[in-house]
Structure 1
Amino acid sequence: MAISRRALIKAVAASGALTAASVTGLPGVAWAANTAYAMAYFTETPNFQGADYGLHLAVSRDGLHWTPLNQNNPVVTPTQGQLGLRDPFVLRKQDGTFVILATDLKGTNFGLNSQYLHVWDSRDLTNLTGYRRIRMHTLPASHTWAPTAFWDANRGQYGIVYSCNSGGDVLMVNYTSDFVTVGPQQVFFSPGFGVLDGDVVVDGGTTYLYYKNLSTGLLYGARSSTGAPNSFTTYTSGLRQGNAIEAPLLVKNNEGSGWRLWGDSFSPVNADYYIWSTASIGGNSWTALNQRDYTPPLNAKHGSVVGISDAEYTAMVSRWGTPNWVRLKSSNLPDSVVRHSNGVGRLDAYPFDPYQDQMWRMVAGLADSTAVSFESVNRPGNFLRHYNYAIRLDPNDGSATFRADATFHRTAGLADGAWTSFRSYNFPDRYLRHANYLLRIDPLSSASGASDRQDATFRITP
């Protein structure tokens, strides 16, 4: 008996095997296995100097270390509603293309209660088409925040889940087949206390919902065997890193085993993201990752992650371009980066403003083209150099002494060969390191103490 394409996809999806790899070759469905990741996000910084409420994109090979695209500028900005977005969510649809949903809000005036979501379509995240807003409800004085979406194989439709206030903070859902028209809103999850920022994924025959409990301030996981509204039971303990957390984001590893759970720090004055990992999403065993092991895109807030193919990764990089600047992340203080402040080179925990103080153009060494020099992005013509062994930011005076002082040879990291250390050009026994948060060059060797070697080890990252 012949089976329709829709029925075939539905059957595969119900089995829990509907992935990029498993549906390749189905009629009308052809995309390669996911080998990389894309992130959609907006940006904020403590004093909002880096705030931008357009759609930003980044890519990663491993899902941990990210490269912002388009110089970390938005690839598109809403032209309707409140003319800005928060909380963008990207979903690969059943036909292999993407849809992007986002909160209709520019800035932090959370009292502006839009009933709409921004929506774009995209074939491969190299262009954004079909921009529109869709109205999710008609509830008065009620927001439509932090959308997520999933394929409900039982219904043969997508569920769009979002935070809403209807007699309390709940998660609502509307069902759609095309992200153009939606059915009426329904309460999706209302456990008897306020909830926010749901993220929904389907794995096998189980639908997982992670959310923020507004009573405890912690993140929890719930699950359902059907994915139907009001069918979820919480099964995990509460999770938090840092002082506050929200916006749980579930990502299944492309390798097919293991998961990561991201959480946003909630405040732009705290670290952008925290991550946990687990071998099995069905258990209650999440392990916090060290910030040394991941680097989110610069200034990224409340984003979403989707698996992409190698071809899609290459196309996105070709279309949008990668940064022409770098940052230097400390090995033993992984929340901190090299920056200049009042002409002094130092190490500070990020985020801070001006956020550009940590951005460097790593150019050919001024005294030796096989080495490197660090030119400030926001103080062009000024370079990191040592003076009496202390590192400071000075304008290039063109002298041979300045060129030598501002030149460093890259070496394998003294504490970790996968990272990098920087040896002074004109004092070759000395390396760039931090001491009491100030940068300087000191004599170091393989015999130096472990702490000293760590102080002189950095990760070059966009």
Structure 2
Amino acid sequence: MTLSRRDFTKAALGSAALVTAGAAGFPREARAATYAAYVFAYFTESPSAQGADYGLHLAVSRDGLNWTPLNQNNPVVTPTAGQLGLRDPQVFRKNDGTLVVIATDLKGTDWNSNSQYLHVWDSVNLTNFTGYRRVRMQTTNDHTWAPTVFWDASRGQYGIVYSAAEILRVNYTTDFVNVGAAQTFFSPGFGVLDGDIVVDGGTTYLYYKNLGDGRLYGARSSTGAPNSFTTYTSGLIQGSGIEAPLLHRTNEGGWRLWGDSYSPVNNDYYAWGSANVGANSWTPLNQRDYTPPLNSKHGSIAQITDAEYNALVSRWGTPGWVRLKSSNFPDRFVRHQNNVARIDAYPFDPYRDQMWRMVSGLADSAGVSFESVNYPGSYLRHYNYELRLAANDNTTTFRADATFYRTAGLADSAWTSFRSYNYPDRYIRHYDYLLRIDPLSASSSSVDRQDATFRITS
């Protein structure tokens, strides 16, 4: 953590199958399991803290890129001791197939509040949580931030690695109740933060933030032992600032690396992809291709089975609202501001301005209308061809102006465009970031068609 950070959480959930020892003695998820989806764990913050919640949040995804928050983006569990809040939670599958949740003991941004403890829960499948406790990691008056867990087969113990005093420390445990003494794990001669560890075959990979240049780096070790890591990648950065590296396998066998942007004017996440985690070859992903959970911070992602995905959705439910993401400005979402409809770069507050209940069309149930979440009874409607938020007066004109038909996206058929009910040659589009309805067709310019194309997301 930095003194200005708005972190991700950390989670690493494998399959429902038991973890088995790999050829090199490192555990790996049993490959007999068929991975069909992913889970994301995080806490939430927004620029002026309207979206701040320091409990454990979960989201799921089929493609590992576009996410559906669970429990209406409310926490599924919250600490009841210590500082009564968490940051940076990780969900880790132990060798017996059960799960442990471990997280920083910190609520809010009081960076001088140096808890020596981590929050810990047990869980079978993230549909309930038991055995809540706090575990003391060290006796020095340093922070204990951003824990990550890995299995050290040579020791026959789990390593719990965390940020403390601009180095990474480790405690070893077999039960996440009793831990050994804190040891220095990674201290390369400059300040580091936010370690994330993945064991792949005979190699242990550690990704971290270099506090000197503000970039993310990867290091590796053939043993996973303390002080055995060598940095092998170039520094990575997107946006104006980045931290909290998140490394995970994809269901297709590749790798993704995510980083948390702590600038309040930039996208909250950036991502890279690579076919080979051991190579220095990370390619930035296009922001059109991924949409993190609303207000999510310092999270991590892992593979889950179809049964696990269905169990999580059944237990916690999916949102009753949507967001609309711009095709050609993918960091921007449709929102209302002073009753004017526009697209603005996320994140912003009030963050609920971008949340819509997409309901049956007020004038035709075959169409859709967009009701504001934070102003119930008010809808997007066009007036003099400009879109605005207005209270439903239940007139024929209002109902017609507030009704649109979903069509295949004019610029991308996998996305969506919205055709006006009462002006059927006109579509919702943005112009100078403001929304209006204009005459458009498949023969319109590429820019015009992109302006009228949106992704329906959560």
Task: Indicate the SS of the match to 1:353.
Answer: coil
Instruction: Tell me the CA shift for residue 268 of structure 1.
Output: 4.1
Are residues 196 and 401 of structure 1, via their aligned partners in 2, closer, same or farther at CA, if it must alter by over 3 Å?
same
Question: In the alignment, which residue of structure 1 is the partner of 2:240?
Answer: 243
Q: Structure 1: which 5+ runs fail to align?
A: 1-7, 23-31
Instruction: Tell me the CA shift for residue 33 of structure 1.
Output: 3.0
Instruction: Tell me the CA shift for residue 17 of structure 1.
Output: 7.0
Which of 222, 228, 232 aligns to 1:231? It is 228
Distance in 1, matches of 2:41 and 2:265, equals 21
8 Å Cα contact 1:92/1:306 also seen in 2? no
Question: In the alignment, which residue of structure 1 is the partner of 2:77?
Answer: 76
8 Å Cα contact 2:265/2:345 also seen in 1? no
Which of 282, 292, 299 aligns to 1:296? It is 292
Matches within 5 A, 1:126-275: 126-140=127-141, 142-165=142-165, 169-255=166-252, 257-275=253-271
Amino acid at match of 1:233: T
8 Å Cα contact 1:20/1:33 also seen in 2? no
Task: Indicate the SS of the match to 1:14.
Answer: coil
Instruction: Tell me the CA shift for residue 13 of structure 1.
Output: 6.0
1:258-281, Cα deviation, whole Å (9 max, x unpaired): 100010012444311100000100
Which of 429, 447, 450 aligns to 2:446? It is 450
Amino acid at match of 1:405: D
Instruction: Tell me the CA shift for residue 306 of structure 1.
Output: 2.0
Task: Indicate the SS of the match to 1:221.
Answer: strand
Give the TM-score taking structure 1 as reference length: 0.94
Higher relative CO (CA 8 A, sep ≥ 6), structure 1 or 2? Answer: 2
8 Å Cα contact 1:14/1:154 also seen in 2? no
Give the paired residue count: 441
8 Å Cα contact 2:240/2:263 also seen in 1? no
Amino acid at match of 2:300: S
8 Å Cα contact 1:20/1:96 also seen in 2? no
Matches within 5 A, 1:116-135: 116-135=117-136
1:224-281, Cα deviation, whole Å (9 max, x unpaired): 00000000000000000011000001010122x2100010012444311100000100
Amino acid at match of 1:236: T
Instruction: Tell me the CA shift for residue 21 of structure 1.
Output: 2.2
1:19-40, Cα deviation, whole Å (9 max, x unpaired): 2325xxxxxxxxx332211111
Give the TM-score taking structure 2 as reference length: 0.95
8 Å Cα contact 2:205/2:219 also seen in 1? yes
8 Å Cα contact 1:85/1:105 also seen in 2? yes
Q: Does residue 416 in structure 1 map to residue 417 in structure 2? A: no
8 Å Cα contact 1:115/1:144 also seen in 2? yes
Instruction: Tell me the CA shift for residue 128 of structure 1.
Output: 1.2
Instruction: Tell me the CA shift for residue 389 of structure 1.
Output: 0.3
Percentage of identical aligned residues? 75
Which of 384, 387, 410 aligns to 2:380? It is 384
1:145-182, Cα deviation, whole Å (9 max, x unpaired): 000001111111110000011xxx10000111111111
Task: Indicate the SS of the match to 2:31.
Answer: helix
8 Å Cα contact 1:13/1:153 also seen in 2? no
Instruction: Tell me the CA shift for residue 381 of structure 1.
Output: 0.3
Question: In the alignment, which residue of structure 1 is the partner of 2:45?
Answer: 44
Q: Does residue 91 in structure 1 map to residue 92 in structure 2? A: yes
Instruction: Tell me the CA shift for residue 11 of structure 1.
Output: 4.4
8 Å Cα contact 1:263/1:275 also seen in 2? yes
8 Å Cα contact 1:35/1:309 also seen in 2? yes
Question: In the alignment, which residue of structure 1 is the partner of 2:423?
Answer: 427
Question: In the alignment, which residue of structure 2 is the partner of 1:29?
Answer: none
Are residues 75 and 13 of structure 1, via their aligned partners in 2, closer, same or farther at CA, if it must alter by over 3 Å?
farther
Task: Indicate the SS of the match to 1:139.
Answer: coil
Q: CA RMSD in A?
A: 1.2
Distance in 1, matches of 2:239 and 2:19, equals 42
Instruction: Tell me the CA shift for residue 100 of structure 1.
Output: 1.0
Instruction: Tell me the CA shift for residue 90 of structure 1.
Output: 1.2
Task: Indicate the SS of the match to 1:18.
Answer: strand
Distance in 2, matches of 1:160 and 1:345, equals 47
Q: Structure 2: which 5+ runs fail to align?
A: 1-17
Question: In the alignment, which residue of structure 2 is the partner of 1:66?
Answer: 67
Distance in 2, matches of 1:279 and 1:100, equals 29
Distance in 2, matches of 1:10 and 1:417, equals 43
Instruction: Tell me the CA shift for residue 125 of structure 1.
Output: 0.8
Distance in 2, matches of 1:324 and 1:124, equals 24
Amino acid at match of 2:74: N
Distance in 1, matches of 2:436 and 2:200, equals 51
Question: In the alignment, which residue of structure 1 is the partner of 2:28?
Answer: 18
Q: Does residue 334 in structure 1 map to residue 330 in structure 2? A: yes
Task: Indicate the SS of the match to 1:352.
Answer: coil
Task: Indicate the SS of the match to 1:35.
Answer: strand
Task: Indicate the SS of the match to 2:280.
Answer: coil
Question: In the alignment, which residue of structure 2 is the partner of 1:35?
Answer: 36
Task: Indicate the SS of the match to 1:453.
Answer: helix
8 Å Cα contact 1:211/1:247 also seen in 2? yes
Matches within 5 A, 1:260-409: 260-409=256-405
Distance in 2, matches of 1:434 and 1:13, equals 55
Distance in 1, matches of 2:34 and 2:227, equals 33
8 Å Cα contact 1:91/1:306 also seen in 2? no
Amino acid at match of 2:28: L
Task: Indicate the SS of the match to 1:81.
Answer: coil
Instruction: Tell me the CA shift for residue 184 of structure 1.
Output: 0.7
Instruction: Tell me the CA shift for residue 16 of structure 1.
Output: 5.4
Question: In the alignment, which residue of structure 2 is the partner of 1:25?
Answer: none
Question: In the alignment, which residue of structure 2 is the partner of 1:437?
Answer: 433
